[in-house]
Structure 1
Amino acid sequence: MHSWTDALRFAFQPVVNLTTGGVSALEILARPETGDVLAEARRDPELDSRLAVSAVRAAAGKETMLPLHVNVFAGTLADLGGLTPLHDAVREAGRLPWEVTLDVVPPYTHVPQAALLEALAALREQGFRISADGVGEGDLPLRLLADISPDLVKLDASLLARPATVRAMRTLCDELGALLAVEGVETELQCAAVRSAGAQLAQGELFAPPARLPTAEVYVPPCSPGVPPASRTGPSVREFVRPAALLPAGASAGQVRALLTGSPDVSGVLLVDRAGVPVRSVHRSRFLLSMSGRYGHALYADRPAAKHGDPPRTVGIDATAWEVLDVVAVGDRDRTSDDVAVVDEHGRCVGVVRLADLVRALAETRVEEAAGLNPLTRLPGSDAITGEVDRRIAEGRTFALSWLDIDHFKQVNDGVGFAAGDELIRAVGQALTAAAVGNTRVGHIGGDDFLVLADPEGLNPLAASVLEAPWSAGGRPVTLSLATVVCPPGSVTDHRQAAACLAPLKKAAKALRGASWVLGRAGLPGHEVRRGALPVGTPEPGAVGVEPGVR
């Protein structure tokens, strides 16, 4: 018996889902009262393995139903492989492996990568989920991170001082199919930055400090109106996953009743087979109503709970919120409040989503989008476009940012009236929207000014469709001016720099006669006149290199 076991205690810290405001899991943290057992565990894989086993047993003693996060050093996994004692401890605690996430902790230097990846593959085969901990502060190479392909990536809050890095990590997580969490969040300002960067999960003293007893009571600040959420066309179901209440497929109605009466926040129970695949769904209200009738408990308590359940509604972990709504819309109306089970690629349950969470989040998204629309054209304003510019910069994508306006628009308003001017602006907005294909985004930033964000290969057809059209207001012919800056990866750092590159091109386009189009490249001098007549006596500017596909 080692002396460290007598002086070792464990604390539990909630992992908070920023979308639902609930606790998605509990991380178990070793808290030695004497000595530095963690430093010893870093050097001793056997000790580290025993620590992980002790953590699971400590959680079992606290009777928490929440999923668990257990820390294990990368070197331990490479040395010991599949951690059979940990798997046994999880089973003995009445848990399923997919309820446990292993937080793989650095250092990675000198850790045999092939052995580490082999161990992680074995753990995944058993059902464990994998988290890459300490990313950004540790020594985890990006190539190895991609090879690990974790279910979760944890960043330190210090990286919030570099928001572009966090946004880039969110993009990488999306590509890897992982969630992004930020640890060590202590202030509401940091929480707002976490949300703005697109992280879905967070931990820290702000929400709840580590405590000897597990808690699901956390403080989550409301969304700041000054911090726009990450805009995504189809929110991933991963953002809404809650812990599932699971019981074996053969559980009795009495066991289900005991679970529900002891956990008032649980809205339903999923009965799963030995592989963790949902086979029946037991809805809280319908079940308790059937059990509350005369002789209900006496008749049903010892009978299989599956008889009180329904076929489970399931979606894959890669589904969008809209796909969940499609699943809910099919079938009996009295089941619209049922939880939807979220399953992994093996069909195993990894959590549930609630319809209320989806409807609230999607409604808020629509309200925010509507508030940002220009009332004249119903197009989004500059914030939506500049936010998308920043995302494309973080993703390392080449993009073309264009500004378009109506020449001498004040004279149009003065000559034919503001109603005709408004009609012309609406028509231009409709033409731009109709010409936008693929990833093109159109915004109306006020007055007669529009922003267009597009891939370079989409520029020519868009420019032709709006510049070659015969525009007029009140019978008075008008022309348009278009300025474009092509931004390859690394040429600009954010939307402000892209806009600064666009400013002189706008001036050059307005200096031309007739419908005009000027194109430049970020970081390079000069510009190319694509359309429009030069003022008399103006020398032809030298053409600059342009992204293939835009000529």
Structure 2
Amino acid sequence: MTVMWESSEVRVAAVDPLVEELEQVLAAESLVPLFQPIVDGQRMEIFGYEALIRGPSDSPLHSPMTLFDTAGRAGRLVELDLLCRRLAIQRFSALGLDGLLFLNVMPLSLVQEDFREGLTASYLALAGLSCERVVIELTEHTPIHDYQVMRQAVDHYRSMGFRVAIDDLGAGYAGLRHWSELTPDFVKIDRHFVQDVDRDPNKRQFLASLLDVSRGLGCQVIAEGIETHGEHRCLDELGGELLQGYRFARPALEPPRRLDLPDADQASHDTQPSARQTQGTLHLTAGMLSRHEAPLHRKVRVPDALSRFRETPALRCIAVLDDEGRPVGVLRQPHLLGLFANPFSHSLYARRTLEEVMDTQMVVVEERLPLELLSARVTEAPEGLAEDFVIVDSLGRYRGIGHIIDLLREITALQVRSARQANPLSGLPGNQAVQQVLAECLADQRPFCAIYCDLDNFKAYNDAYGYAAGDQMILALARLLSEQAGEGDFVGHLGGDDFMLVLEGELGRCRPLCEAILERFDRFVPMFYTEADRRRGGIEANNRQGQRVTFPLMSLSMALHPVSPGVNRSALDISNVLAELKAQAKKRTGSTLFIDRRH
């Protein structure tokens, strides 16, 4: 290959067959735009589509990596980038796809022709699309050298209505600096941190921290590269809002308009333990702690296992399996090394198999076991067995080894995240946890009742008696709801004087429980008033029109929505129904239970 240099830009002579092919592709505009859905993880609906470019199927430039590498060597990256943009916009418009269009854009082109001439806006105008529907997704084919110029370009795009995303955070030149300097609307996490996140505690901790930071900055995180049910479930439990990957759909010339997850995956999701049992904490499982330390068969000879431990000093425990891949025992490093402490050990154990020396006393847990229950199981285990535990699938087959230090780290992180999400006054789970519990209850395919609880005349009480007294009233109601709720029920605090109950079972169980709450509330609420106000039946104060009126003693309005198995609704749908029911309940005088009988 002959290479010629022109000033500061590399030019490749036409004898390069890939460059010749690139010339033909650009001239014929024979690039193919594909689209991959980006999914709203809470609603499980398509949020938008990322446009991805491929070269002609019969061309050596079909791969985007080869295509862009060749354009870079030929000094035609910007030209290629603009052509990709135009073709993607045209195809997106022709398909009539809903949601946002995520356009991959190189920073280099953003500060050159397109920045000066507004080519993207003109492409959109010709296609009949508005700038508000497009997200400029900055890729890292080349580094950003001048952030001041880059910020000016990004601000220019935002002024026209575009939003901005950073692609592959953690994989390129300076993703974190891009995030800090450019304050994007979206950040896409590199697929490396998503792959096997359900089995790698370090990756999961990284993603949890990243999501916490993004919420504080008002930025949405897109987790890309999700391929398995386990990865999807883990992102859902961490509160991941936007998801992308083969799990939902592959890039396609005509992408799906709605999600259609495999029945097997849905059935697997239905068997997961309910978040109601964790009272609003993120539902994390033993499988997420699994380290796949290679197991050994029970017929393997003892010296082979000894070599494993000596070659890997950090290795503490090896699972021993039977012919069907199920654990029958474990080898612990101190025990096995102790067997070879004297000079006669090698001759004594040289021909023995692992089943003769393994420890059959071990803690075995299924990968779907919630961390809270795993913690209790490990704590109750005999001394010496709790440091390591064997993780199996639903059929009892080996999945990996878990270590107590990882369990302690995750329990601590879980407690910290739960505390951040909890209402600061009552300590009860907040709105995010409420939405998650509703979503998981729907997935459980079991009957439950969602109840919205709201105090009446609380503002008048708070104004007359002061904020400290108002806080005591809120805390009293929180205690009442928590005491009445059963072990499998959920109590959340949405904020102010608004609470949410998610109760297990049919209306026949939930209605008496709600009626008992109202009865207890009406008995204790007069104690929060002075004797004079109790005799008067309320508080005398000015209303919003300045008129002197009597506000009755506080009452409690409860709006109950029964949910049957198999309903095709989201957590947001239930929240909307409850808001409507609450408005009906508050029209009634005194403490009220308003039941939705339409469903």
TM-score by length of 2: 0.46
